[in-house]
Amino acid sequence: MSTFTKIAWRNITRNQYRSSLTISAVAIGLASLVFLKSFIDGADQQMVENYTSLLTGSIQIHKTGFQKNMGLEKSITEANSIFTALRNITGVEAAAPRVKDYALISSPESSAGILLYGIDPAAEKKLTTINQRLRRGRFLTKEDKDKIIIGKDLSDQLKTDLGDKVVLMSQGADGSLAASAYEICGILDAGAEDIDKNLALITIEAARDLLVLDGKISEIAIAASSLNDIDEIARSIKAKIDINKYEVLTWKEISPMTYQWIQFDQVFTGLILFIVLLVVAAGILNTILMSVLERTREFGIMLALGTKPQQITSMVAAESFMLAGIGVTFGAALGSGLVILLGITGIDLSAISSALNSFYIGSVIYPRLNIADLCVYAGIVLLTSVLVSIFPAKKAAKLSPIEAIRHI
C-alpha cells in the first residue's frame, strides 16, 4: 500500500464516529435505492405477467389494421401456415387461435355491449390463466356449441346466473344478422373490470357459426417463454410471416397504458436515485470538508516538505473513495439481502389490494433483484462520492504552506 493510501486509510479510522456516520448514510442510501427499485420491478413484473397471462397473451398476431379498427373483414385466413411458422420460433411457448368481435348480449332483464371471444378451450388453457378465474361453474370444452362464460359484473347487470340463457347478437361476416342463444356455464371473477364487465367467452366453433366466418380467425395469441425477450421474439415472428399482411404486436402495443405506467415507474425510480445521490453527496462533502479543514496544518507541512499538490488531491479523493466504497459494499449487501429475503416471503399489501388489483398486481409483492441495476447504482454512488470530494481536495492542494502551517 502506498504511503498516501496509508495516510488516506488511517485518516478514515482517525475519526471513527464521523466515518461510521458517513458510511452508514451511503449504505442506507444505496440499500434503500436497491430495495425500492427491486420492489417496483417486482410489482411491474407481476403486473405484466398477470396482465399478459390473464387473457391478452404476450404477443398477438392480426391482419394489419385489426388492432386499430377491429372488424370481421380483417380475419386471418391462413392461420395454419402461421401456426407452422410459430412452432419453429424459439421463445414461443404456446399459441391459440381466437375469434373476436363486438356483440350485444341480452337477457330478459337487460342488455349490454360486450367484446365477444371465441376460444379454443384446450389451447387457451396452455396460453392464459382465464380458466382459473371462474367464480362459479365450469370452463368451456370443445363440444360446448351453445355454452357461454361471462364476467360477474356482467352477470349482475343482466340479472342472470348459472344455467340462465342469454342471446348474443352481432353482424356476420356476410353482412347478415347474427343471433344465437347460449346457456351460462361459468361466471368469471378476474379482478379486472374490462373482463368482469365487458367480456363473454364461447368456443371458437360457436363463434365461427354465429359470425359466418367459415374457418377464419381474428387473432393468434401467443405466450412467450420470457417477457424479457418479448421484442426479440416478436422480431423473429415478423421475419417468418408476411408483415405486409399481418401485424405482430407485443403487450406494450396492445396495452400502451400499462407500458407507460412501467416507464413512469422508471422515471420515478430515477428521481429517487437523484435524491439519494444528493443526500450521499452532502454527507460525503461534509465529512471530507471537515476532515480537510481539521488537517489544514498537516497539509501545510506536507506541502512545505515537498509534497506535490496533485498528491494531496489524490489522497483526499482516495479517502472519499474508501468511505464510499465501504458504504457501497455494506449498502449492496444490505439491499440485496433484504430483497432476497422479501423475494421469498413477499410483502403483504392486502390492506390496499383493491387498488393493486385494478393494476393487475396481487396483494403480495415479491421484489426482484436486478444485478445490473445494483452495479449501476453502486457505481453511480461511488462516482458521485469521488466527484464531490474534488472541491475539498483541490482546496487542500491549493493551500499556501506557510499560511497553513500557521493555521490553528
Residues that bind another protein (CB under 8 A): 3, 6-7, 10-11, 14, 297-298, 301-308, 401-402, 405
CB of 306 to another protein, least distance (A): 3
Number of H helices, E strands in the chain: 15, 12
Rounded to an integer, what distance in angstroms lies between the CA atom of residue 140 and that of residue 146?
10
The neighbour count for residue 157, using CB atoms within 10 Å, is 17
**Nearer of residues 9 and 259 to another protein, judged by Cβ:** 9
Nearest to 325 by CA among 32, 19, 2: 19
Minimum separation from the CB atom of position 386 to another protein (A): 21
- The minimum distance between CB 279 and another protein, in angstroms, equals 28
Helix H segments across 248-370? 251-254, 256-294, 296-305, 309-345, 353-357
Q: Which residues pair with 334 in a beta bridge?
A: none
Amino acid 70 reads: M
Nearer to another protein (CB atom), residue 115 or residue 405: 405
CB 319 within 8 A of CB 22: no
Distance (Å, rounded) from C-alpha 294 to C-alpha 407? 10
Q: Which is nearer to another protein, 12 or 43 (CB)?
A: 12
Alpha carbon of residue 17 to chain centroid: 41
Shorter beta-carbon distance to another protein: residue 11 or 50: 11
Least distance from another protein to the Cβ atom of residue 1, Å: 11
Write out the DSSP string of 102-148.
EEEEE-SS-EEEEEEEEE-HHHHHHH-SGGGGEEEE----TT-SSEE
Nearer to another protein, 104 or 301 (CB): 301
In this complex, which beta carbon is closest to another protein, that of residue 159 or of residue 406?
406
Given a contact cutoff of 8 angstroms between Cβ atoms, the answer to whether 95 and 220 are in contact is yes
Provide, rounded to whole angstroms, the least separation between the CB of residue 314 and another protein: 13
CB nearer another protein, residue 263 or residue 400:
400
Distance between CA atoms of residues 392 and 282, nearest Å: 12
- The least CB distance from residue 330 to another protein, in Å, is 23
Minimum distance of another protein from residue 8's CB (angstroms) = 9
